[in-house]
Amino acid sequence: MDYKKMYEEWLSNPYFDAETKKELESIKDDEKEIKERFYTELEFGTGGLRGIIGAGINRMNIYTVRKATQGLANYIIRAGKQDKGVAIAFDSRRMSPEFAKETALCLCANGIPVYIFESLRPTPELSFALRELGCVAGVNITASHNPPEYNGYKAYWEDGAQITPPHDVEILKEVKAVTDFANVKTMSEADAVAAGLYHVIGKEIDDKYIETLKKLVLRPDCIKAMAKELKIVYTPLHGTGNVPVRRVLAELGFENVYVVKEQELPDGNFPTVSYPNPEAAEAFALGLKLAKEVDADLVLANDPDADRLGVYVKDTKSGEYISLTGNMSGCLLADYEIGQMKELRGLPADGALIETIVSTDMAKAIAKYYGIALYECLTGFKFIGQKMLEFEQKGTGTYLFGFEESYGCLIGDHARDKDAIVATMALCEAAAYYKTKNMTLWDAMIALYDRYGYYKDGIVSVTMKGIEGLDKIQSIMTSLRENPPAEVGGCKITAIRDYKRDTIKNLATGEVTPTGLPASNVLYFEMENNTWICVRPSGTEPKIKLYYGVVGTSLEDADAKAKAMADSVNDMINAF
């Protein structure tokens, strides 16, 4: 692609507005910036779009959003399901309302009814809404936890999960087939309303969503007993979680919910953090300060689209607040939910716990303990949603709980994406339950280690931005695939799973078997001593990610092994 020619086209074509051209004029002397914006199109991946906001084909703007939507509309029409409509939501990011409206008006211009939320809503409520309304698809405008300069476009299919095969491949084809921006359809909001195609939704869906979540509470007796004593600090990190989280906790009776005022209101600039990620320690700085002031039991943070939950819990012995990784909180909730289901009503014979391949092996131990099946999926909650759909279609398999290491889980089957609103509710319920037993959530976590083993998992993420970064990431993956290491950190590699080639090779016997999962650019190294490493490029950020897991004989031993493995993984990636 001739990026200079494309740049000139955007400057001269009357289709593009004056503000866009003004922005492009401002970079006329910056050759590198022009190339970054025009050397390639912003890729519509298997989850949709995500990129920096700005003018150009490799940026998030109204034109790239319309183009993606036209491709989605073409696929919906080809499937003959245009009458079912599309649900649309958006978060607190810059340009989110504008991108949502452009999406809606493009769909309406194609004769497809839309149901657009009146104001910002969490990602899981979008998944719930499209199922509740019987829509064929959904779109959520969000870039999750990315820095402020980003926005994104998540596409969902009628089961409520982000698009998966075969729909993803076919939608990608339709988007790529839209080669002329001028051929993308749109219309005015007034005309869309007059045509009966543009519907605004809000309170009625909110009410149904919250009522559905409240029905998932297992121990209301424990909440009632501890509602006046349990102290909860919560931050929505300037995003969508504030209203629904506070509402559901209040309606369940929790009386001591302290919201971090500095991070309470929606703000796409995320002024209190460098980026709004509940995995990052900085996201909790204000929450922990408030927690110490009020002597809170736990500190909770949602990312801006409220599909992920970060957690700190108080250790009463030391008086300190301890961070739970996504693996830890996922296992804590999995054990609580499945354990309470078993105690209160028994578990189905075909009960299932689902995790991703980069999540902790403690999940396998939990599944074995409760006598249920454990399923592994590729990274991305949409694959957990796909497994849930498979259960429904085959009539066998009962979903009990699903989680991924990146702070996402789903309790219940009301949605097909991770839901941090229900996770927040459930963790507060679990805290109340354990408090009736004079235990903190940290005490409960230690009990899990004592029962299942001292699993410790971590991740090393290396950011590689721009064209050079993308090439470097691909070069690292190719090198590891063609010349894999024999050992890492003194642990011998015993088997290699190559999900791109659909192979699992046993290095001792040479036997090769299929992974059984869809093709993905992921390498997984099984190692001695129940140790493992998984390497994959991020699907949403310019990063290469290296996950690892170890098992220790004690918490201290696991910590030491994890630190040693992290050092070895860093050495491995720095060698490239």
Are both 291 and 340 inside the same structural domain?
no
Are 263 and 299 a contacting pair, CB within 8 Å?
no
Do 91 and 156 lie in a common domain? yes
Do strands 398-404 and 351-356 pair parallel, antiparallel, or not at all (unpaired)? parallel
- Has residue 349 got a pLDDT over 90? yes
Does the N-terminal peptide bond of residue 166 adopt cis geometry, omega within 30 degrees of 0? yes
Active site residue 520: no
Q: Quick check: 46 pLDDT over 70?
A: no
The domain total for the chain is 4
State whether 410 and 554 are in the same domain.
no
Mean pLDDT of 95-124: 98
Same domain, 337 and 362: yes
Same domain, 366 and 274: no
In terms of DSSP bridges, do strands 309-315 and 523-527 run parallel, antiparallel, or are they unpaired? unpaired
| Same domain, yes or no: 53 and 188 | yes
Answer yes or no: are the C-beta atoms of 240 and 305 closer than 8 Å: yes
- Integer Cα distance of 299 and 503 in angstroms: 42
Asked if the structure places residue 5 within a domain, the reply is: no
pTM for the complete prediction? 0.94
Find the catalytic residue in 92, 144, 359, 520. 144
Among 172, 201, 230, residue at a domain's last position = 201
Q: Say if residue 529 is in the same domain as residue 540.
A: yes
Tell whether 75 and 196 lie within a shared domain: yes
In a domain, 348, yes or no: yes
Residue 385 pLDDT exceeds 90 = yes
Lowest average pLDDT, out of 87-101, 180-194, 263-277, 459-473, goes to 459-473
User: Of the candidates 419, 437, 452, which is a domain's last residue?
Assistant: 452
Q: Provide the CA 447 distance to its chain's centre, in angstroms.
A: 28
Give residue 136's domain range: 40-201
In a domain, 16, yes or no: no
pLDDT tens figures, 134-179: 999 999 999 998 999 999 999 999 999 999 888 988 999 999 999 9
Do 276 and 217 reside in the same domain of the chain? yes
Please, which pLDDT band fits residue 383 given cuts at 50, 70 and 90? very high
Instruction: Provide the token pair at 356.
Output: 């991703």
Q: Please give the average per-residue pLDDT across 79-94, as a whole number.
A: 98
Please indicate, yes or no, whether residues 420 and 433 belong to a single structural domain of this protein.
yes
- Residue 501: the pLDDT is 96
Best CA proximity match to 435, nearest among 248, 258, 228, 288: 228
Q: Is residue 33 part of a domain?
A: no
Degrees, nearest 5: CA angle 460-513-388: 70
CATH code of residue 53:
3.40.120.10
Query: Which of 271, 287, 322 is a domain's end point?
Result: 322
Q: Which residues pair with 276 in a beta bridge?
A: none
Give the span between the Cα atoms of 75 and 166, in whole angstroms.
12
Mark whether 570 and 471 lie in a shared domain. yes
CB 189 within 8 A of CB 101: yes
How do residues 370-379 score in pLDDT, each as one tens digit? 999 999 999 9
The answer for 93, left when phi > 0, alpha when psi is -120 to 50, beta otherwise, is: beta
Whether residues 313 and 334 fall in one domain: no
